[in-house]
Amino acid sequence: MVRPVLLVDVDGPLNPDAAKPHRRPAEYETHRLMTPRWEAAERRRLRAWGLPNKRPKPLRVWLNPAHGAALAALPFDLVWATTWEEEANEFLAPILGLPALPVITWSDPRPEPGAGVFWKTPEVVAWARGRPFAWVDDLVTDADRAWVEAHHRGPALLHRVDPKVGLTAEDFAALADWAREAGAAAVGGGERP
């Protein structure tokens, strides 16, 4: 039996970036990170504003240190499905106590699937190649679920996380329940849980 994959987005699920700017959610810690990608984007923005000599500010990231262990305890193989790409391993995994994880590398330029489908969705399905997966992201919708249903031949759960609060105990419970159901469906020959 193939173990399901949990595709983890960062901004929204792990970093509740839509929370009130000056109200860090309970149990989260503030980290100021200067990743190469963030620094390059900030330098472009400052140049566009006519401030080429101004020093870029680090990115504020809120992380719950308990999430690393909670993710690792789930019956999944973990994979980063975030625009942070490999920077998630370099900057976030150590804070969360996670090992380096496989990373989905996104196409550049990003595809535009249309019909309200999130640009990540076709790439997630192509990456999964029929393997059972759950995906936590704050931007998945019913259009994405329908697209995955039509294009992915294995079990899949697209689990939307509220970007104002991040992953919760209820989210972790839903993921664990789905993994058990997906495993039972695979053993019993079912198509989808």
Whether the ω angle into residue 109 lies within 30 degrees of 0, i.e. cis, is yes
Render pLDDT for 123-153 as a digit per residue (tens, 0 to 9): 999 999 999 999 999 999 999 999 999 999 9
Paired tokens of 10: 């960062």
CA distance 28 to 24: 7
31 in any annotated domain? no
pLDDT reported for residue 55:
92
37 in any annotated domain? no
Show Cβ contacts of residue 41 under 8 Å, excluding neighbours closer than 6 positions. none
59 in any annotated domain? no
* Closest of 161, 113, 116, 168 to residue 137, by C-alpha: 161
40 in any annotated domain? no
Residues of the chain under the 70 pLDDT cut: 1, 183-193
43 in any annotated domain? no
CATH number at residue 131: 3.40.50
24 in any annotated domain? no
49 in any annotated domain? no
> How do beta strands 29-33 and 59-63 pair?
antiparallel
161 in any annotated domain? yes
- Domain range holding 10? 5-19+64-187
Count of C-beta atoms within a 10 Å radius of residue 94 = 12
Domain total of the chain: 1
